[in-house]
Amino acid sequence: MNRSRIVSGGRVRGLLSCVVLLAALACTAVPPPRGWRDPEVCRAHFKAYESARRNFQNSHLDPYNQNATVAREAQLLRLDGCITRQKDLQGLLAAQARLSPHVVTDSGTPLHPPVAVQAGIVDGFTSQSRVTTYFAALGYNSRSVGAEGLGRQIFLGPFRSEGAASEAIRVAREAGFISPYVSRTRY
């Protein structure tokens, strides 16, 4: 009888040691994965997500099932930190003050048809409201589209020249967006 108590006590101590070791490992700072919030990686993910949504759009008959290809691209956007969060937008008012007054002007090569700039995906309606106000104060038209499982995808435009689109990309970066780019989505 005594022996079974010793064995079970040894098991308890062993389990406690494992729990303490796991807790210590969990508290250790783990560097983010390679590609985390990298603008080039995020731009590639956004373009793949846009392409997947265009090619595998859910039918209106089954709106609750996301296509596997779209879901995979959305997961990569999340895993690599490409979604613009509230804390990424902390400098929004300062950027607006720095850039004001701002006038959207056409310059460079004309674009036919006009293009949209995909600023990025924000994490919710509060962020959407903040960036919509920011862009409107700087003279930009913006719209948002629900990005299932991600938040709200922000588009600027339409732009009729390369110079205007490039300037919009710069202004979106100033706001805190990681990888704005000229989108193939029709505005």
Nearest to 47 by CA among 152, 96, 118: 118
Q: Quick one: pLDDT at residue 69?
A: 87
Q: Quick one: pLDDT at residue 112?
A: 87
As a whole number of angstroms, the distance between CA 88 and CA 158 comes to 25
- pLDDT for residue 14 is more than 90: no
As a whole number of angstroms, the distance between CA 61 and CA 172 comes to 36
- pLDDT for residue 154 is more than 60: yes
Q: Where are the domains of the chain?
A: 1-30, 39-183
pLDDT digits over 113-140, tens only? 999 999 999 999 999 999 999 999 999 9
Q: Quick one: pLDDT at residue 171?
A: 96
Q: Quick one: pLDDT at residue 3?
A: 54
Q: Quick one: pLDDT at residue 93?
A: 92
Burial of 134 (0-12, 13-18, 19+ CB in 10 A): buried
Specify which residues 84 forms β-bridges with.
122
pLDDT digits over 24-64, tens only? 555 555 545 556 689 999 999 999 999 988 887 655 555 56
User: Residues 94-128, buried b or exposed e (16+ Cβ, 10 A)?
Assistant: ebbeebeeeeeeeeeeebeeebbbbbbbbbeeebb
Q: Quick one: pLDDT at residue 9?
A: 58
Q: Quick one: pLDDT at residue 33?
A: 56
pLDDT digits over 88-120, tens only? 999 999 999 999 998 898 899 999 899 999 999
As a whole number of angstroms, the distance between CA 138 and CA 135 comes to 5
Band of residue 19 on the pLDDT scale cut at 50, 70, 90 = low
- φ, ψ of residue 56 to 5 degrees: the values are -125, 40
Q: Within a 10 A sphere around the Cβ of 163, how many other Cβ atoms?
A: 16
Q: Quick one: pLDDT at residue 185?
A: 73
